[in-house]
Amino acid sequence: MYIRHIHDEIEFLEENFQNLTYAELTSDKRAQHMITKALEIIGEASKNLSDVIKNEYTTIEWRLIAGMRDRLTHSYDDVSWKTVWDVLQNDIPALRSGIDQILAEKGW
């Protein structure tokens, strides 16, 4: 279930990188790899969600999530760590809220 993949990757990011600083992100290659992989999985899973879910939950910016995955996958040498940092700090908590809502409402 793709929504569960998104949830699990968000949980992984929160559990492992909640206290990560921007300086650590930009200098820790291992953290960079794990974070970008989790964001890629979130993006790929969002691409595979049914249109029914995407159309029902339009407050989640599914297209932007998929776009982030595409940028990370196809432009790895040119990753903006500032953008990744902003995603971790702002977008992931907001996405967590939306995903939790979907899981609760659908009983998944």
Known catalytic residues are 69, 74
- Residue 90: predicted pLDDT: 94
- Residue 16: predicted pLDDT: 97
| Spans of the chain below 50 pLDDT | none
- Residue 76: predicted pLDDT: 60
Span 3-34, pLDDT tens digits: 999 999 999 999 999 999 999 999 999 999 99
In the chain, where the domains are located = 2-106
DSSP assignment string, 30-70: HHHHHHHHHHHHHHHHHHHS-HHHHHH-TTS-HHHHHHHHH
- Residue 98: predicted pLDDT: 97
